Every structure is written in structure tokens, then in C-alpha cells.
Amino acid sequence: MKRSIIVGNWKMYATSIADAHILATTIRNKVAPVIGIEVVLCPPALWLPEIKNILGDNKKILLGAQNMAYEEEGAFTGEIAPSMVAEMAKFCIVGHSERRQYFDESDQDVNEKVLAALKHGITPIICVGERKRQNNAAEPTRQLAAALYHVPKKYFKDIIVAYEPIWAIGTGENAEPEYVAKVAVKLRELLHTATPILYGGSVKGSNIAGYAERPEIDGVLVGGASVRAAEFIEICRVWSNSKNFKS
């Protein structure tokens, strides 16, 4: 059966440990019984140990970091080494458009991070997407090829790709599921048949069903709605119901 993956990118929200605790506990309690989905929570890095404790050995809800350095160690003030992430999390978002835009991350940085993540047994969630609305997959495909430079093909099933058109992130203007499916087909040409391809961009409970209906889309990366517990739980439930998973 194909995997169904729902990632919550908390960005720099849930800014107190108390808020993060409540959010993670509520999601854990309500999402654990939802059938057929894998959930990855990506809280701010400082909260990873706390949320790891809350999730315990839950097999369905796992942890991801939002970013990491590619260097092993050294004089890089403020950075988080891959080995540090690996102690806390199984996943790491790499190449999010906010990192590319506000922290000048280049395609080469993204590629180095993908290689470092795989070296440390971390599944990179590689984000790609075009800045302005287009009618073709040229830019996300180019970004993905750059991110996978020198990555041996045997690792392709150990990565996750998130197609996140920048114009859809945080704008309330989500991309049409049919269009996302077309882009996913193009991205798939560079990937393994088992590589999950997610969509991200203004996903919420009221529009998730359209993505769940498309077999080309293996899940979603949720930003703003992932820090609203009820909304995130609804996204998980609707996805599972749309797929008609049986226990």
C-alpha cells in the first residue's frame, strides 16, 4: 500500500514550551487513532526534546526538524549539526522556501543538506516550488534535480519530496489538486516509484479531500494550519476517511 504522510511544519509558532506541550499532546491523543496515515511533527528545534517525550514510542506520529546544517561540527554559531538532529528526529525539512528566501539558502546548500541528512539516517523532506503561478513544472523539477545531485539512486526511496508553490504558502490560495497531480507526475520522473510526493500550500480541513482523491499525491505538508490543533486533526481525519482505510 502507498504511504500517506501528513507533515506539520510549526515554523516559528508555538513560541512557549507550554503552548507546544498542549499542541503536541492534543494532536497525539486525537491523531493516534486515525487509521492509515503517518504524521510528522516539525516543531521549533528547541522544543524537539520536549515533544519527543510527549510522543514517546508512538509509531504513527514521528518527529522532524525544520532545518539543519550540513557541516559535521565546528565554529558555526547558532547552527544545528546533523548528528544532533539524528538524536531527536527521523525527518528534517530541507530547502523550505522561507529558508531559501530569508536565509539565502542556495540549491547547492540544499543538496549538501540532503546528502548530510541521508548520511545520518535522517529522511530529508525536500521542498521545491516556483515563486509565481506557472503552467509547467520547470522550476520545481530543476530544484529537485539540483537537490538530488550526487545522491545515489539507492537512497531515492529514503527521501520525501514536497511540492510547495511559493505563491500558495500562507496565502490562502491553494493550488488546484489536478494541477498538483500534473507536477507530481513530472517530479516522479526524477524519483523512485516509492518516493512519497506531498503537496504544501494553504492546506486546511476544507480543501484536503481534493488532494487525498489524487493517487499521484501521497500526503501534505501543512504550515499555518498545523499549529491549530483542531484544524490539523481534521486534516488527518479527512485524509484517512477519503482513502477509506480499514483497520
Catalytic-residue membership of 21: no
Residue 93 CB, nearest approach to ligand PEP (Å): 8
CA-wise closest residue to 125 among 27, 205, 223:
223
Nearer to ligand PEP, 82 or 95 (CB): 95
Residue 75 CB, nearest approach to ligand PEP (Å): 30
Nearer to ligand PEP, 81 or 236 (CB): 236
- Is residue 217 within 8 Å of residue 162, measured between CB atoms? no
Residue 1 CB, nearest approach to ligand PEP (Å): 25
For 226, the grid coordinates are 498545523
Nearer to ligand PEP, 118 or 222 (CB): 222
Catalytic residue, chosen from 38, 164, 189, 213, is: 164
Residue nearest to ligand PEP (CB): 223
Return the residue matching grid coordinates 482505510. Answer: 245
Nearer to ligand PEP, 111 or 202 (CB): 202
Residue 204 CB, nearest approach to ligand PEP (Å): 8
Residue ranges that bind ligand PEP, judged by CB under 6 A: 9, 11, 164, 169-170, 200-203, 221-225
Q: How far is it, in rounded angstroms, from Cα 193 to Cα 35? A: 23
Catalytic residue, chosen from 96, 105, 112, 130, is: 96
Catalytic-residue membership of 164: yes
* Catalytic residue IDs: 96, 164
